[in-house]
A and B are shown apart, each in its own frame.
Chain A
Amino acid sequence: MAATASIISSNPAAAKLPTTTASTSLSPFSSIKFPSYPSTKPLISNSTVPHFHHKTLSSTLISPHAAASPTDTAAAATTFHGVCYVVGDNIDTDQIIPAEYLTLVPSNPEEYKKLGSYALIGLPSTYETRFVEPGQIKSKYSIVIGGDNFGCGSSREHAPVALGAAGVAAVVAESYARIFFRNSVATGEVYPLESETRLCQECRTGDVVTIELGDNKLINHTTGKEYSMKPIGDAGPVIEAGGIFAYARKTGMIPSRNA
């Protein structure tokens, strides 16, 4: 997680929706909270989402340290690419991270990694393909596709954290339970996206997909189909700022770091 620190600090996180997203400085695990946003950064730069980039480095479509270089394209800034893992409706937080693992404290870097290794371990055995292979720390699936009410149940922040720690960049579900959505935004661990259609019946675990955030679009390369997603909506300004702490600093609710 330490890797995110330097990337984040190079990002103004000031880009505007819908063309791009924001940095996710909120993660309690990326040890830094950068002092304040450099005011010289262009407002409409297609800044990257460092946290997410960090997770999708394996992707060939993404230029890793895109930063705010003017040569960057919107696509590079807002694209997630990878192999998807598909689940159904009402995936509750006990399935995402069973309660017996909640003794792990997410703000502790070692325990953060362990949380990732247990991500989605609570899924019933009917899910024959496991999300994280036994003995592995991370998952090979960087995108999770779900049905209705993803993340229902408890308020444990360990749920988006476990997914994020396992290497998930984005979840695309038909709808979310409130607290999971909020925790995803607040921590910046995963990008909670909503699909227009029932993607969990359109995609299969192992399909290669690309999410074009700027166009609210998901492409399934395995089937060749393309789907539209809903805009991020109300959480936009907070995500845009980089999470609840950054948003509060930006709007003057709390003093900026170097004040």
Chain B
Amino acid sequence: MASSSAITSPPTPLINKKDVGLSAFSSQASFSVQKFQKRVSKKIVSVMAPQQSERRPATTGSVKTGMTMTEKILARASEKPQLSPGENVWVNIDVLMTHDVCGPGVIGTFKKEFGENAKVWDREKVVIIPDHYIFTTDERANRNVDILRDFCNEQNIKYFYDIKDLSNFKANPDYKGVCHIALAQEGHCRPGEVLLGTDSHTCTAGAFGQFATGIGNTDAGFVFGTGKLLLKVPPTLRFVMDGDMPDYLLAKDLILQIIGEISVAGATYKSMEFVGTTVESLSMEERMTLCNMVVEAGGKNGVVPADSTTYKYLEDKTSVPYEPVYSDEQARFLSEYRFDISKLEPLVAKPHSPDKRALARECKDVKIDRVYIGSCTGGKTEDFMAAAKVFLASGTKVKVPTFLVPATQKVWMDVYALPVPGSGGKTCAQIFEEAGCDTPTSPSCGACLGGPRDTYARMNEPQVCVSTTNRNFPGRMGHKEGQIYLASPYTAAASALTGFVTDPREFLQ
């Protein structure tokens, strides 16, 4: 495995990776709930052997070979009793999401292949979310949103989160913002389902115990017409994270730890399953952060088993029935990694790769020019709450420009409405203003991926930025010579306060 060589500055003692090849091992008891035990009446109703309908292997349970969560979801979606890694199967898609950057190309492919008058396979299963290049004067970017709108009108797409008035996003009640967060907030993420999207961070939805992965325009055009896609069943890597999570850590630190461990290609073509007491203790938003960055390790998808936290989150968001699945006790995992999270320290990923892991405190001499808090990875309500907590604890002002880009309209409202615990009723927005941050801006993908030149907070100079986003490849946030340190909202806020990459324990303890 590439794991050991990939470590740059290893907090190794806390990692105990157990390479088990293809052997099976037992899962956590709480995840192995068998769903298919049927109650059989013991009352004698006949002396003849009752006629039995054919019992397919899928219904009997006991004869099955163990499957992982991902294998089970794909088995059900492909109407097969059993699947093994490496098999290529046609999978029924529950939700297909696209946005303004890829949507027009998907539509073009769809029309070319299926005809100008073709209809999408299910107008309620296509979700279209403009989010990337919204608040820009770039004509082509604006045109692309128009193309989406025309298509949604023509096809009567049920879920289109439109924006028309660019001068004031609040005048657009339908507008959401960053697609992966909007999908969750609008109830499109459900356990056991298959969600595909034309965006690599579609894997975020794995937090709900579903199979979710990113695809290209052409594949999405195919799904538009058929509701199916040929997918290869990935083998699963299992990450067991146990121990109490220290209050200076966030899920971002966990995933940076894992990517640093297995490298940016360590999970290529593979599924990543996250279990353990630490994962169970995480909120839905934190689980989303964890799954969001599996693609940064090359992963095809990430999954967290659904539990009471999941059900609670979904309570008021969807009325669609769903059925969670869990890895069998006998499921086969390609390998298992174990982490004692109680010993983990705040981390960053140094330029220019998400696997260049380092302890935040090791980088304390790195002078920075700006801080960015936003994106599908680090622009959720809890991410802003976390940043506010650090600013509140410090009581001082930021030393570098600090840009805040809420992921969605809902997050933006939370930033302006929810009281921050321990602040005497202040909102995040008030705390940010007192700390001297830039005013939280309109929700979108923003400068996480650079975007058009006039994008808010785009890195147009070769500066050094600490960011709660997901990628730090050259040029990611705009300037090719810009340097991006990926970090948790705690670490980002702490760094804003000092002007250097800073371990948040300086303020939180």
Question: How close is B110's CB to chain A, nearest CB, in angstroms?
Answer: 9
> Which residue of A99, A153, A248, A253 contacts B450 across the interface (Cβ within 8 Å)?
A99
Partner of A148 from the list B88, B90, B265, B474 (CB cut-off 8 Å) is B265
Q: Which residue of A lies closest to B445 (CB)?
A: A99
For A125, the chain B residues whose CB sits under 8 A away are 480-481
A222 to chain B, nearest CB (A): 28
Which chain A residues lie closer than 8 Å to B132 at the CB level? 102
Q: Are B88 and A234 in touch, CB under 8 angstroms?
A: yes
Q: List 15 A-B contacts (CB under 8 A).
A: A94-B449, A94-B450, A103-B138, A103-B144, A107-B104, A124-B475, A148-B265, A152-B265, A154-B471, A155-B200, A175-B268, A179-B214, A245-B222, A248-B222, A254-B226
A240 on the B face (CB < 8 A): no
User: Which residue from chain A places its CB closest to the CB of B139 in the assembled complex?
Assistant: A103
Residue A100 lies at the interface, judged by CB distance under 8 Å to chain B: yes
B153-211 at interface with A (beta carbon < 8 Å) = 198-200, 202
Q: How large is the interface on A (under 10, 10 to 19, 20 to 34, 35 or more residues)?
A: 35 or more
Quick check: B480 and A124 within 8 Å, CB to CB? yes
B215 on the interface (CB 8 Å rule)?
yes
Q: Which residue of B lies closest to A102 (CB)?
A: B101
When distances are taken between beta carbons in the complex, the residues of chain B under 8 Å from A33 are 112-113
**Contacting pair B218 A244 (CB below 8 A):** yes
User: Separation in Å of the B259 CB from the closest CB of chain A?
Assistant: 12
> A122 with B474: in contact, given A99-B450, A100-B450, A156-B101 (CB under 8 Å)?
yes
Chain B, 458-486, contact with A by CB distance < 8 Å: what is the 0/1 string? Answer: 00000000000001011110101100000
Instruction: Report B482 CB to chain A, min CB distance, Å.
Output: 11
Q: Report A-chain residues with C-beta under 8 Å of the C-beta of B268.
A: 149, 175-178
Interchain nearest-CB distance for B465 vs A (Å)? 15
Given A148-B265, A179-B200, 5 more pairs with CB closer than 8 A: A33-B112, A94-B475, A156-B101, A156-B102, A186-B219
Given A26-B218, A155-B198, do A100 and B453 touch, yes or no (CB 8 Å)? Answer: yes
Asked if A187 lies at the interface with its beta carbon under 8 angstroms from chain B, I say yes
Q: How far is B112's CA from A31's CA once the two chains are assembled, in angstroms?
A: 7
**Which residues of chain B are within 8 angstroms of A254 by Cβ–Cβ distance?**
225-226
Which residues of A, 169-217, contact B by the 8 Å Cβ criterion? 175-179, 182-183, 186-187
Q: A103-B133, A154-B449 are in contact. Are A108 and B108 (CB under 8 A)?
A: yes
Instruction: Decide if B370 is an interface residue (CB 8 Å cutoff).
Output: no
Beta-carbon contact of B269 and A253 below 8 Å: no
B480: chain A residues at CB < 8 Å are 122, 124-125
B55 within 8 A of A: no
CB-contacts of A207-259 with B (<8 A)? 234, 238, 243-245, 247-248, 253-254
> With A105-B105, A152-B264 known to touch, is A95 a contact of B473 (CB < 8 Å)?
yes
The 9 closest A-B pairs by CB, nearest first: A107-B108, A155-B214, A157-B216, A183-B216, A103-B140, A155-B200, A149-B265, A99-B449, A186-B218
| A146: B residues at CB distance < 8 A | none
Q: A28-B221, A244-B218 are in contact. Are A149 and B264 (CB under 8 A)?
A: yes
- Chain B residues with Cβ below 8 Å from A152 are 264-265, 298
B20 — which chain A residues lie within 8 A by C-beta? none
- A28-B112, A244-B219 known; A98 vs B199 contact (CB < 8 Å): no
- Contact residues in A for B138 (Cβ distance below 8 Å): 103
Cα–Cα distance between A175 and B1 once the two chains are bound (Å): 15
Q: Chain B contacts of A104 at CB under 8 A?
A: 140
Q: Does B452 belong to the interface (CB within 8 Å)? A: yes
Chain A residues near B147: list those with CB within 8 A.
105
A94 CB to nearest chain B CB (Å): 5
- Tell me the nearest residue of chain A to B475, going by C-beta: A122
Q: Which residues from chain B contact A238 at a C-beta distance below 8 Å? A: 230
Q: Is B109 an interface residue (CB 8 A)?
A: yes
B72 to chain A: which residues have CB within 8 Å? none
Chain A min CB distance to B271 (Å)? 11
Q: Are A28 and B90 in contact (CB under 8 A)?
A: no
- Select A186's contact among B107, B216, B232, B264, beta carbons within 8 Å: B216
Min CB–CB distance A251 → chain B (angstroms)? 9
Assess whether A90 is interfacial by the CB under 8 Å rule.
yes
- CB of B101 to closest CB in A, whole Å: 5
Asked if A106 is at the interface of the complex by the 8 Å CB criterion, the answer is: yes
Which one of A107, A122, A244 lies within 8 Å of B230 (CB-CB)? A244
CB-contact partner of A178 in B102, B217, B269, B473, under 8 A: B269
